[in-house]
Amino acid sequence: MIEIDNVSKWYGDFNVLKHCTTSVTKGEVVVVCGPSGSGKSTLIKTVNGLEEFQEGDIRVDGTALKDKSTNLPKLRSRVGMVFQHFELFPHLKITENLCLGQMKVLGRDRETAMKKATALLERVGLEAHAHKFPGQLSGGQQQRVAIARALCMDPIVMLFDEPTSALDPEMVNEVLDVMVELAREGMTMMVVTHEMGFARKVANRVIFMDRGEIVEDATKDDFFGKPRSERAQQFLSKILTH
């Protein structure tokens, strides 16, 4: 579903991604982890063209991002993205946040869009809040709305960029529960996160990055049981002792 082939990226002289190669198959959940500044978020943003890259190529469901004939907005509409900060429109009610993309991008009529929005708000446990504004919801609730909004577009893959890192600790689980359910339903997912409990529960593979490189790309059992690199061992020893 996602093929990342020898991708490198620079910000000026700073080489933020170095020859990154990996893939995500249909129905697979891949967690990307590593220390701050390792290139995790940059890598995931290259997958739907939010970040440009200078070398290599990325294919999503067979479509090459570097191909000049590729319609990037159309491709992005098929790739759900959930950010660290919820990116909801504060002046629109929750249902409007969920309907806007469906109507503008997918061309659905209001009735169809509203039906989809209502079903997905129910799925994330927020149907009672449909007519509120984002500012009237907690951070955890807003992030669940953001997930529902992404799902409204019928994505073939979901990308999550540290979806719980801006939340108060007591709100983290309500978002992770929705993500666990998605994974169990077979959604293809690439997740940048420090939540190792989530990785252990649902990831098929774990990618560990450091200084712009993919240092390890292993099954979760291998990664947590016997990480090969000393850098990953150090990372796990710090993150799993708390």
State the DSSP code for 105: T
pLDDT of residue 19: 96
The pLDDT tens digits for 24-49 are 999 999 999 999 889 999 999 999 88
Sheet with 14-24, strands from edge to edge, namely: 14-24, 2-11, 55-60, 63-64
What mean pLDDT do residues 52-59 have? 94
| pLDDT tops 60 at residue 17 | yes
Instruction: Enter the CATH code of domain 2-240.
Output: 3.40.50.300
Would you say the pTM of this structure is higher than 0.85?
Answer: yes
Residue 50's nearest CA partner among 25, 35, 74, 72 is 72
Q: CA-to-CA distance for 236 and 242, rounded, in angstroms?
A: 10
